[in-house]
Amino acid sequence: MIRGGVWGGLLLVGLAVWVLPYTPARAWPIGSHLVAIDRIITLLLAGAAVAALILALTVWRRSGGRGRSLLIGVTCVLFALAGLFGARILAQGTAEGSDPGQNSGLRALAWNAAGEDNTAPADILMPVIKAYGVEILVLPETGWRTAEIAAEYLGERGFANVAYTDEGTATSVLLSPRLAAAGNYRVDTNMPPWAGLALRPETPSPETPIIVGTHLQQPSPGNIETWRMHLDWVAGLCAESPFVVVLGDMNSTLNNLGGDTVGVCRDVAAAHGAGATATWPTWLPSGLGVSLDRFLMGTGFDPERASVRVLREIQPERADHWPILVSF
């Protein structure tokens, strides 16, 4: 009776945590953190299962089997739960992504370089910008003063650009002069504080889409309502036109979002088996990290024909996010 109660209680608790992403509880203060750490939970469960198995074998040898059945039951439950959490990670995908195809259209980079020197985007990203012909650079957590410095340094190093920023946000977007002129872009000032920066073209199209650079509030205790407001802002922009691209630090895993969409915008990494690929933090092995930086696109685009890749070859000195390279 006691054995069954222990196994059953452990199983119920584990299942309750596992189903959180599929319930409104994923947006609760504690739930929002639990749903984001599938990898860590999987490793902890697997480690606990191995420890319980070793303990069961030790008890069996020393006491002739008394207590062994309880420990074996606990071991089985822990392994089963580890398998459930691990299966979700594999289903979302841990691939590193792929480089832009030869015939792909626009290429973009996003990097939350907070903590780096003002010249870091130029010094670190310039080789990638040149190699791939990047025309959009999204800099989350980069205010207008820092963005102006970064834009100047990038221009001096060969990336002519038009910088878009706003004093009411901490996200900046740099476009190539060709794209800026083609779209006749302007900053959309109708946005919630610190959610990001939206650039509106004169006429949205596949070649000149609405560009949304994001740095959403993290869904932590005290900030849940702000995070929801920021997500609603993104979803609203996605509903306005089929030709929308959303790129940057979303501070959200697929579990936080409850799937691979925000409104009608779809997650590109999820479409390529990379939905759970870590982009943060750089100081942990990628196998223990969290996927916070995202690339989503409106209904006028096909995510399977786009690309996204985490740039592991770039080693930031102080920033805790990896850059992501995308094409569409």
pLDDT in tens, 55-73: 888 877 766 555 677 788 8
Residues near 248 by beta carbon (within 8 Å), at least 6 away in sequence = 110, 112, 138, 140, 171, 196, 212, 213, 214, 215, 293, 294
Domain positions in the chain are 2-92, 107-327
Model confidence, pTM: 0.92
- Please say whether the beta carbons of 138 and 325 come within 8 A: no
Q: How much is the average pLDDT of 137-154?
A: 90
pLDDT in tens, 212-256: 999 999 998 889 999 999 999 999 999 999 999 999 999 999 999
User: Under CATH, which number does the domain 107-327 receive?
Assistant: 3.60.10.10
Residues near 259 by beta carbon (within 8 Å), at least 6 away in sequence = none
pLDDT in tens, 97-129: 887 876 568 999 999 998 888 777 788 899 999
- Please say whether the beta carbons of 138 and 165 come within 8 A: no
Residues near 19 by beta carbon (within 8 Å), at least 6 away in sequence = none
What's the 3-state SS for 66-121?
Answer: CCHHHHHHHHHHHHHHHHHHHHHHHHHCCCCECCCCCCCCCEEEECCCCCCCCCHH
SS3 48: helix
Residue 114's pLDDT is: 87
